[in-house]
Structure 1
Amino acid sequence: MRVLLFTGKGGVGKSTVAAGTAALAAAAGHRTLVLSTDAAHSLADAFGTEIGPEPTEVADRLHVQQVDAQRRFEQSWADIQGYLLSVLDVAGVDPVAAEELTVIPGAEEVLALLELRLQARSGCWDVVVVDCAPTAETLRLLALPEALGWYMQRVFPFERRVVRTLKPVLQRAAGVPMPEDTVFDAVERLHQELDEVRRLLSGPDASVRLVLTPEQVVLAEARRSYTTLSLFGYRVDGVVANRVFPAEGADDWRAGWVTAQDAVLEQVAQSFAGLPVWRSVYRPCEPVGEQALRTLASEVYGVADPLARPVGEGPFRVTRTGTGAVLHLALPGVQRSDVDLARTGDELVVSVGSYRRLLTLPAVLSRYRTAGARVEQGELQVRFEERQS
């Protein structure tokens, strides 16, 4: 099954491009689902029809779904929220305020990804196209499974044993209820489901497509997204430059825009060297409906296969050397000064800007010492060598 995620800065037209790509896939004979994990759903507007929380057929072999994030939140968070509410009740917090305090910001969008897991497991689809939230929310959303995995491996088992063993003493000392096994089970189940999503999205059949408009601010965010998605192990397989003014027949006013956009598009080609950059021209009216969306996507991709799987190795790989090994992590667009590295035991902490990834080193590397690091042509290379006896 092919999985394509579309993201970009808010307002660049990612929902339109995602919907058009899905319509093109369905027209080619693939059982296709396009679903939105964005709280501000736009797919119903794009297809010009009502769409609910379950897959809705809008054309032959094409279904659309706008995930009910609130429902997914209630299903996956209910046991955990119930425990937190009991703690706040003992503390005397107003019930209405307590309800708000137990909702983690962004949790609904994160849990909406669990719907992708269910649809992938259903076996009903050949292609799933995901219309993601705007870039910043998408990056937080995709980083969560790995961060939660660190907590589950390092802290969770110890915490669960302590509470189980000392529950009566802790409850009397703290004066608040201790979590039951159902709460721990809910956290563990949530982690397993999100980890399955992470494996699906970082696998060879999944990739992210960035949508941008030819503007400096939008391009800068797209560059950062490319770097950060690679940092967390997700493949970016192409860029769609949307709302490009056609040069033919341009009056003086539009000619100025064409010149300005051409300058940015040159930078796009340089920033995403090695990736296809597709263009979508500025249209006199917004494409609405399956046919209009399919026509747009046909013009964008031309003779290229819009469902082609990404080629080459993923962002993370390890190569052997005569004295040890080298860890390679793609970080397009960064310099050595942009990267901070630290090692703690069998973990390598890689920080780029405000984003940080904890990499659990493969067994082949954990017994080696860290001998050096460099950034070369958009790739972080960390050298490991045998420890001196």
Structure 2
Amino acid sequence: MALILTFLGKGGVGKTTVAIAAARSFARQGKRVLLVGQQAGPSLSQMLGVDLDCDAKEVMTGFNAVHLESTTLLERYWEKMKNLESQYLRTPFFKEVYGQELGILPGMDTALGLSFLRERDAEGKYDVLIYDGIGDLIALRMLGMPEILGWYLRRFRLVLTGSAIGQALSPFVEPILRSVLQVSATEDITQQAGQMTDVLSRGQQAVSNPDRVAAYLVTTSDAIAISTAKYMWGSAQQVGLTVGGVFARGHVAADEFAPLPVEAIAENLTELAIPMAANLAPAPMAIDVSTRQVRLFLPTFDKRQVKLIQSGPEVTIEAGDQRRNIFLPPELVGKQATGAKFQDSYLIISFG
């Protein structure tokens, strides 16, 4: 399993430069590194001096890079799905649709990027995966996808299981799950949903583990850049992603991002050592069954910007244009939220 890192901040502050410097530093340490770029245009290729595509190219010893092209990835996944479909269906449904003619719909880039990262992680060829994405909120939604899809699966499983639409969709679920999520063959939609739940659960656990997945903020001394970085910090907590520190060009006061460490970086940055997030940052969420409390670390937000909704065994927190669904442990299921308060950047929810 690889360490997966990403960098968040306002456009133009140098996130790609920081990502490249971090990749070089890890490679110098003997780590096997893959830098995954998914931005518009050839800027990453130009900065590295390597003509990149969806297949890994060597930049230096231990440091490879790719530039994801959604059209290419979609074509590859589509052909994989058609091959699997022919194994499970007597009359394949998609055989007359060709990957080369598929257009990219909104959201496909995110799903394709997540699937690519998951496959590279599962291969075990790399120690570090660095993701340089197409947009910060989009990157956060991508990393939050396992939790979000898990919620949809929990909510709609009972609707699909045994229903007419569920039985109609059942023959097509298997090829899709196998091609995108890489789960094994099953007999019915309930078992398929169970395997999908397991895959999503592992993804959610990885995102919430700072030893596996972490983000770092990048900013300049500009007030708007600092404000954007703070917003990204709070939004990252909403997907359960730990932010481990701040890299700043120019002077940024240490207390701007307390308790995160702020490290000044040079304009001509070539290598950058990354501190381990688990040692530096507060956990995004903690559940204390003994005190019947859920504590969420939501820096940069105040109570006016947060909405709390309780529905059945779950609590939904809305902040930073993100929603987080918290599935309560058995000890708190059925307990009603009796209060919520902000204290030292934490939203503390108490249950009766």
Amino acid at match of 1:344: S
Aligned match for 2:242, one of 221, 235, 238: 235
Counterpart position of 1:120: 121
Aligned match for 1:182, one of 153, 163, 172: 172
Distance of 1:39 and 1:338 partners within structure 2: 32
Distance of 1:52 and 1:19 partners within structure 2: 16
Q: What's the secondary structure of 2:6's corresponding residue?
A: strand
* Percent identical: 27
* Deviation for aligned residue 1:326: 0.9
- Higher radius of gyration, 1 or 2: 1
Distance of 1:75 and 1:3 partners within structure 2: 23
Amino acid at match of 2:60: A
Counterpart position of 2:51: 50
Aligned match for 2:259, one of 274, 281, 289: 274
1:138-185 deviation line (CA, Å, top 9, x unaligned): 2232333322211112114523532357x7xxxxxxxxxx64621465
Counterpart position of 2:230: 223
Unaligned runs of 5+ in 1: 87-97, 168-177, 245-261, 288-292, 298-304
Q: Structure 2 matches for 1:129-208, cutoff 5 A?
A: 129-159=130-160, 161-163=162-164, 179=169, 181-183=171-173, 186=176, 190=181, 196-205=202-211, 206-208=213-215
Pick the structure with more helix per residue.
1
Amino acid at match of 2:231: R
Distance of 1:112 and 1:241 partners within structure 2: 27
Distance of 1:195 and 1:185 partners within structure 2: 20
Q: What's the secondary structure of 1:70's corresponding residue?
A: helix
The answer (yes or no) to whether the contact 1:33–1:64 under 8 Å persists in 2 is yes
Note if 1:329 corresponds to 2:292. no
Q: Structure 1 residues 128, 307: closer, same or farther in 2, change over 3 A?
A: farther
Distance of 1:197 and 1:61 partners within structure 2: 26
Distance of 1:362 and 1:130 partners within structure 2: 32
Distance of 1:239 and 1:130 partners within structure 2: 17
Counterpart position of 2:32: 31
Distance of 1:156 and 1:41 partners within structure 2: 42
Amino acid at match of 2:238: L
Q: What's the secondary structure of 1:6's corresponding residue?
A: strand
Aligned length: 319
Distance of 1:17 and 1:183 partners within structure 2: 40
Note if 1:343 corresponds to 2:310. yes
Counterpart position of 1:316: 285
1:346-384 deviation line (CA, Å, top 9, x unaligned): 110111143222211122211323221101111010011
Q: Structure 1 residues 194, 52: closer, same or farther in 2, change over 3 A?
A: farther
* Deviation for aligned residue 1:335: 1.6
Amino acid at match of 1:333: T
The answer (yes or no) to whether the contact 1:333–1:378 under 8 Å persists in 2 is yes
Amino acid at match of 1:221: T
* Deviation for aligned residue 1:77: 6.2
* Deviation for aligned residue 1:209: 0.9
Q: Structure 1 residues 201, 21: closer, same or farther in 2, change over 3 A?
A: same
* Cα root mean square deviation, aligned: 3.0
Q: What's the secondary structure of 1:217's corresponding residue?
A: helix
Distance of 1:281 and 1:71 partners within structure 2: 36
Counterpart position of 2:345: 378
The answer (yes or no) to whether the contact 2:38–2:133 under 8 Å persists in 1 is yes
Amino acid at match of 2:172: T
* Deviation for aligned residue 1:236: 0.2
* Deviation for aligned residue 1:10: 2.1
Unaligned runs of 5+ in 2: 86-92, 94-100, 182-195
Q: What's the secondary structure of 2:245's corresponding residue?
A: strand
1:303-346 deviation line (CA, Å, top 9, x unaligned): xx52524226521111244xx41111110122222211111111
Q: What's the secondary structure of 1:364's corresponding residue?
A: coil
Amino acid at match of 1:335: D
The answer (yes or no) to whether the contact 1:113–1:197 under 8 Å persists in 2 is no
